[in-house]
Structure formats: C-alpha cells, structure tokens
Amino acid sequence: MSRRAYLDWNATAPLRPEARTAMIEALDVVGNPSSPHTEGRRARAIVEDAREEVAALVGARPAEVVFTSGGTEANTAVLAGGWQTILLARIEHDSVLAPARELARNGKARVVDLPVADSGDLRALAGHVPEANGNRALLSLQMANNETGVLQPLAQAAAVAKAHGLSVHTDAVQAAGRIAVDFRALGVDFLSLSAHKLGGPKGIGALVIRDGAALPAFITGGGQERRRRAGTENVPAIAGFGAAARAAGGSLAEMDRVRALRDRLEAEIRAITPSAVVIAAAAERLPNTTNVALPGASAETLVIALDLAGVAVSAGAACSSGKVGASRVLEAMGLEPGLARSAIRVSLGWGSTEADVAAFVAAWSQVAVRRRERAVA
C-alpha cells in the first residue's frame, strides 16, 4: 500500500511518541490519585506533573488547570456558568455556539451576535460590547478558527470586554502548540484546550480558570480537580496530555518550517488553478492552516477525490443527511454561498513533510485535469 498524506491535523494530530510512552508507563500505575498511600501518591504525581506541563504550555499556573474530557467539555462548562448575557460570533466552534443558543432558546441568557469582518476577525469589536451593568456577562472569542486558521485580536478584545465589566473565555484548542499562548498576557478568565490537537490522546483536555474567576463546578460528587470536576482522573490520558504539551512547547520553532510548507502548497494551488480562492489569505493565520475554495466544485467531491488519491483533508462545509451546505464560518465572513460550498481545509503539523505537500499537489493537479476534461466534453 502506498503511503498516504495526512493533511487534516486540525481535526486531530497523530499521537506523539512521547505521549505514547507516557501513557503506556502510566497504565502500570495501580493507585487512585485520591488515595493517600504510596500507590495513590504515584498516580497523583503523574497527574500533577502533567498539570505543570499543560500550564507551562499556555503560561498559566498549575492550580488554574482543570482536566476535562476535551475541548468540548471545557467550552460547554464555561457557557453553562450562569451568564445573563453572552457575546459571540458565528465563527465559533459548535461546542460554544450550541450551548449558547440553547440558553437563549430557554430564556436563560441573552445572546449577542458580533459582526465578523470579511477577513474573518472581530477587529471592530469596540462598538458592539454592551455594559455588563452588574449582570454576569461573558465574551467568548476563539483564539484561532478551526476552518480558516484566522487569529483573533484576543488581547485587545479582552481589554475592551473587561472595560465593560465582562468576563472573557477563549477556545484555544487550535492555537495551543502551534503559536505561543500566554494566558496571563491575554487577559482572559477561561481558556479551553484539547490534547489530541497537539499530539496527545483523544478524550482529554483542560479548562484553565483564572485565580478568582467565578465558575460553578461542572461535575459534582467528589473533590477531584479542585472540586470543579468530580470523578477519578484518567491518569494515562492525562500523562499523555502532559507529555504532548511538553513536546509541543519545545517544538514551536518547528512551525516556521510548517508555515513554509503551507505557503508552498498555496502557491502550487494558485499555479494549477488560478481561479482558486485562498480564504483570508491576507489575514493573520495559524501557520499550518489553509482554506481554499475552487469555484464550481463541490467540497464533498474534492475531499473524496483527494482521499482516493491518498490525501486526507476536510471539507470546509458541513455534511448533513448527504447534503453539503455552505460553512457558516465562511458565510459569516461574507463569502458567496456557492463559493463557500466549494471550500476545503488543508492543515499540516509537526510531522508534515515535503512529500506530503508533493502528494497533495499531484492529487490536486489530477482533480484540475479531470475538471478541464469534463468542461471540454
């Protein structure tokens, strides 16, 4: 079987060897982290060492890190924090949008939709933030978009929100391990992370909660995780998360090489198909992400054709009941629906190579040739 090119790192990254080793070693640790005996203390040490590594990756204090089952749980835990007003934009991940919309439908919170520039960011935020006026109000703003890679002016947005009395949450799932993240400097209250996006195992994440920030416990029934999330910790997964965080933090310089690969890929796309549109090409983006639309094509068809050619990418549009609809992220940015329905996401990572890019370019060329042949016929 020929080697496949995996270019869907924003969906999930391959498991780092450091994480695999840490998890295997942790599987042999018998104790419950809450037990006071020697075996329990060994398990507790694994959890706390990992907590330190995750905190270090994002510039937080270990005591501010609460382990969760992933980024979705971290996001929903914040949204369920008893807010009376929630500010967000349609570019947010579904794990932010869905709980906010549910709260609005049930009359439990007022949700304010924020405008998105055609570049995919919220730089015009200042005129759209209401005063909290003593209410519990939250701005939830992702650090980097999972589809386009566009980075938000998070520190500036947080300063504006704080000046109006709002708390601030950021979904940093796609950003951590790809760009430098400094929880303290950003000025946010809550920050969500997911291990499998940076080379850790699936099913483990974290919510960073600023010291003093008010947030109810999201699972009750025990004293684990600073009484915020009851239940015995998943020690092997946490060990893998810590090892992946340490490796990711130590290899941030590798992202310069990844950016060069991404830029080469985009240049090749434009050369082969001049009509292709690289979404938010002029915006500040993650170094590993490109979202490209091919006018007249179907995202689903492109993903299948590339997969058959041995290249894994994602559609920039959601598939429901066999129908492909335009991405709400791209629609929020003002893209014409037909163009949005033709968009795919290509995302690279620390293990991506020149050969991966070459495989994509070859497959893209085949797709372009077939489209031209059909047009002539």
How much is the pLDDT for 373?
67
pLDDT digits 0-9 by tens, 51-62: 999 999 999 999
CA 41/CA 33 separation, integer angstroms: 6
Tell me the C-alpha distance between 35 and 49, whole Å. 17
Bin 334: left if φ > 0, else alpha if -120 < ψ < 50, else beta.
left
Task: Please check whether residue 240 is in contact with residue 336, taking contact to mean a CB–CB distance below 8 angstroms.
Answer: no
> What predicted TM-score, i.e. pTM, was given to this entire model?
0.96
Q: What is the mean pLDDT of residues 273-286?
A: 96
The predicted pLDDT at position 376 comes to 62
Mark whether 319 is an active-site residue.
Answer: yes
Classify residue 96 as left (phi > 0), alpha (psi -120 to 50) or beta.
Answer: alpha
The answer, yes or no, to whether residue 318 has pLDDT greater than 60, is no
Distance from C-alpha of 290 to C-alpha of 146, rounded to nearest angstrom: 10
322-327 contact pairs (CB < 8 A, 24+):
324/298, 324/299, 324/300, 327/147
How far is it, in rounded angstroms, from Cα 316 to Cα 296? 15
The model's pLDDT over 111-162, given as tens digits with 9 standing for 90+, comes to 999 999 998 988 778 778 989 988 999 999 999 999 999 999 999 999 999 9
Q: Encode pLDDT of 185-227 as tens digits.
A: 999 999 999 999 999 999 999 999 999 999 999 999 999 999 9
- Given pLDDT bands bounded at 50, 70 and 90, which one contains residue 320? very low
What domains can be seen in the chain, in order of their start residue?
5-13+253-376 (3.90.1150.10), 17-250 (3.40.640.10)
Residue 311 forms beta bridges with which residues? Answer: 5
Average pLDDT over residues 86-92: 96
- The answer to whether residue 91 scores a pLDDT higher than 80 is yes
Per-residue pLDDT, 316: 59
- What's the mean pLDDT when you consider all of the chain? 94
Tokens representing 144 are: 């980097």
| pLDDT given for residue 317 in this prediction | 44
Q: Which of 319, 336, 353, 369 is catalytic?
A: 319
Residue owning tokens 């400094």: 182
Per-residue pLDDT at 331 exceeds 50: yes
**Would the pLDDT of 40 be above 60?**
yes
Q: What is the pLDDT of residues 12-22, one digit of tens each?
A: 999 999 999 99
Q: CA-CA distance, 63 to 246, in Å (whole number)?
A: 17
How large is the average pLDDT for residues 227-243?
97
Q: Note the pLDDT tens digit of each residue in 262-271.
A: 999 999 999 9
Higher pLDDT, 304 or 371: 304
More confident residue, 318 or 99: 99
Note the pLDDT of residue 3: 86
Cα separations in angstroms, 211 against 61, 85, 165, 208: 9, 22, 17, 9
Dihedral sign of CA atoms 311, 317, 318, 321 in order: negative
For residues 282-286, give the mean pLDDT.
97
